[in-house]
Amino acid sequence: MTDPLGDMLTRIRNGQQAKKDSVMSPASKLRARVLEVLQREGFIRGYSEEALGKHKGLRIELKYFEGQPAIQYVARVSTPGRRVYSASKELPRVRNGLGITIVSTPRGVLSDAEAREQNVGGEVLAEVF
């Protein structure tokens, strides 16, 4: 698999379109940190680590509001073939501040608001609305 984070975001997108309660994804530290940001910002109900055969997996609890998915739009920005970096002052705003940008910084994986507050930039991983 060349883009594990993109795979997880696609599983979330597909699960919400199919009205699933939860989806499974293979576990990694980066995926878990991204899920923490999504949970803090209220886009998913939560996640837990489970055994997936002999490997670990992440069960992602999807969130809905009045029958509609909490995540209307999710897209990978920085890909393995084209990395995208941004300074704290140039972090993109998603839907005029209604959505979030997930950024991998030296202080961990943060949302764009947290990165601006701590005045750190980094790799722009994904946009969520």
pLDDT digits over 5-25, tens only? 999 999 999 999 999 999 999
Residue 97 has a pLDDT of 87
Which stretches in the chain have pLDDT values below 50? Answer: none
69/95 Cα distance (integer angstroms): 17
119/30 Cα distance (integer angstroms): 21
117/91 Cα distance (integer angstroms): 12
95/12 Cα distance (integer angstroms): 20
Residue 52 has a pLDDT of 85
Let me know: does 49 contact 84? Beta carbons within 8 Å.
no
Residue 1 has a pLDDT of 84
Residue 112 has a pLDDT of 96
Collapse the DSSP code of 1 into the 3-class scheme (helix H, G, I; strand E, B; otherwise coil) and give the result: coil
What is the architecture of the domain spanning 4-128?
2-Layer Sandwich (3.30)
Backbone angles phi, psi at 21, to 5 degrees: -75, -35
Q: Which residue has the tokens 């991204």?
A: 34
pLDDT digit string, tens, across residues 21-42:
999 999 999 999 999 999 999 9
The amino acid sitting at 7 is: D
The pTM of the full predicted model, rounded to 2 decimals, is 0.95
113/22 Cα distance (integer angstroms): 27
Residue 86 has a pLDDT of 97
Bridge-partner residues for 49, per DSSP?
58
